[in-house]
Amino acid sequence: MLDIFALIVLGVICAAAIWLIVMIGNIPGNIARAAEHPQADAISVLAWIGLLTAGIGWFVALVWSKTKPITASAALEQRVAELEKQLQSQEVDA
């Protein structure tokens, strides 16, 4: 009877440990998806690989998920606006 109880307790502990690892492994990916990070899938993969490799990659993924990538969209929009103004001024002159 005691052996069966010990096996049940061991099974519950193992299941809880697996559940905890899955929850912890998903944290960086979930943060990135919630923030609509463009590289959310890559962050999630790095988090899982990081868990398998002593956890360093997981911390990198966590930091990466909290950063916003610098995009050239603002500069590009400004350049497009300047070109549109130049085009309009040329159309008015013609």
Q: Any idea where the domains of the chain sit in the sequence?
A: 2-93
Per-residue pLDDT of the chain (94 residues; tens, 9 = 90+): 778 999 999 999 999 999 999 999 999 999 999 998 888 999 999 999 988 888 888 899 999 999 887 766 777 888 888 999 988 888 777 6
DSSP string over 77-90: HHHHHHHHHHHHHH
CB-CB contact of 28 with 41 (8 Å) = no
Q: What is the pLDDT of residue 14?
A: 97
Q: What is the pLDDT of residue 94?
A: 61
Residue pointed to by tokens 């943060």: 31
Distance of CA 5 to the CA centre of its chain: 41
Nearby residues of 68 by Cβ (< 8 Å), 6 or more positions away: 35, 37
The model's pTM is 0.65
